[in-house]
Amino acid sequence: MLVGLLLAWGGVRVGEVLAALARLDPGVYLLALGVQAAIYLLRALRFRLLLPSDPRVSFARVLPVTAAHGLAAYVLPAKVGEASLIVYLKGACGTAGWDAAAVLLLSRLLDLATVAGSLSLACIVLSTSGVFAERGLDWLGGLGAALFVLMLAFGWASARGERLAGWVEAFLRGLGLSRTRLGAGAERLAARLRDALARVGAGRLRAGALLSLPVWLCVYLFYAVLARGLGLSDLSFFEAIFGSSLAVLANLLPINGFAGFGTQDAGWVVGFGAVGVERELALESALAFHLVYLFNIVAFGVAGHLGMGMGGSVTGTGSGARWGR
């Protein structure tokens, strides 16, 4: 329904979207595919880095989990597929459930901090251009400052996650809720999460944060390569970052529908429209990009599930974990 509304609003026919897709040069597609593969490699390396050292999981185990999780997180609506990482890490790598949840939480906080920082930089750079002031985008400097504050907040939360969980425990006790069954259960959950956050990434969070930079550089490079290949050839790299920003946020936040259809495309149109792309061209490229992106994610995700199946499963957790079939 959302895609249909977008097509009607933008005055674009399905045939025009397919024509834009057909114009994509195979060499450009292969370059984008290579960049997307690098994203999976970097994300898997970050997951492995944040995982506790007992049991120490091999990179070969984490990589298919990363690809399979990427498919579930993207396809299922409202980001409920994110929880698949806990199931996959537990089954394929022998990671305790709470440790896997802590890894997921830290990874997403690092992602949000990096996205906020990169968009802040893009806004500040673009705000120095007189062209954007003429378009009525003189608010970009203020947005960049606000995003910088958000970057600091998300960065602090990722570095002090166990302290936040401890505050939740103290809050529940202070209100006397811990004397109720529901409050006592919530306090136990907060305590388990606090302990898991203390274990996960211990001494390695800084390296995980540094790895987030090339992860998101590759993400924006992927968007920029495909955007230029689909007809948005006059954009600078910072314009591509800003233009794709809302599409990126639609994929990162729990606001998307099935496979991101509608929400991601609307974000792309609004973002690239702000940097001067005509609405029809923005919508054509948005839907063509979406089809390419979905095809790649499904392909990587299926390969990830096959890789997990071929690798077998792990039974048990901790130092006593053993491999099983």
Q: How many CA atoms lie within 13 A of 265 on its CB side?
A: 31
- Which runs of consecutive H residues, i.e. helices, occur in 76-96? 84-93
CA distance 151 to 3: 32
pLDDT at 319: 38
What DSSP element (H or E) covers 323? strand 322-324
- The four Cα atoms 21, 26, 27, 29 give a dihedral, to 10 degrees, of 50
3-class secondary-structure state, position 128: coil
Beta bridge partners of 324: 313
pLDDT at 134: 67
pLDDT of 31 higher than 70: yes
pLDDT digits 0-9 by tens, 99-140: 999 999 999 999 999 999 999 999 988 888 766 666 777 788
Distance of CA 129 to the CA centre of its chain: 29
Average pLDDT over residues 242-255: 86
Range in 64-68, 80-84, 183-187, 299-303 the model is least confident about = 183-187
pLDDT at 100: 93
CA distance 87 to 12: 41
% pLDDT > 90, the chain? 47
Highest-scoring range by mean pLDDT, 21-30, 72-81, 201-210, 237-246: 21-30
Range in 16-30, 186-200, 273-287 the model is least confident about = 186-200
3-class secondary-structure state, position 221: helix
Q: What is the pTM of this model?
A: 0.88
- The four Cα atoms 252, 256, 262, 265 give a dihedral, to 10 degrees, of 0
What DSSP assignment string belongs to 232-269?
-TT--HHHHHHHHHHHHHHHHSTT--GGGTTHHHHHHH
Q: What are phi and psi of 156, to 5 degrees?
A: -65, -40
Cβ atoms 34, 19 nearer than 8 A: no
3-class secondary-structure state, position 75: helix
pLDDT-derived band at 325 (thresholds 50, 70, 90) equals: very low
Of residues 286 and 11, more confidence is placed in 286
pLDDT at 147: 95
116: left (phi over 0), alpha (psi -120 to 50) or beta: alpha
Cβ atoms 254, 201 nearer than 8 A: no
Return the amino acid letter for 199.
R
**Cα–Cα–Cα angle for 279, 285, 288, nearest 5°?**
140
Q: Map tokens 């054509």 to a residue.
A: 284
Instruction: Return the percent helix, strand and coil in the chain, to nearest 5.
Output: 80, 0, 20
pLDDT-derived band at 178 (thresholds 50, 70, 90) equals: low
pLDDT of 224 higher than 70: yes
Cβ atoms 165, 197 nearer than 8 A: yes
Average pLDDT over residues 262-270: 89
Q: Which two tokens stand for residue 290?
A: 């979406």
Of residues 236 and 89, more confidence is placed in 89
Of residues 54 and 90, more confidence is placed in 90
Range in 77-91, 100-114, 146-160, 165-179 the model is least confident about = 165-179
- The four Cα atoms 316, 69, 299, 32 give a dihedral, to 10 degrees, of -130
Q: Map tokens 């990671």 to a residue.
A: 95
Average pLDDT over residues 290-316: 88
Q: Which two tokens stand for residue 41?
A: 């490699």
Q: Are strands 313-315 and 322-324 parallel, antiparallel or unpaired?
A: antiparallel
As a whole number, the mean pLDDT across the chain is 86
From the list 17, 14, 28, the residue with the least C-alpha distance to 221 is 28
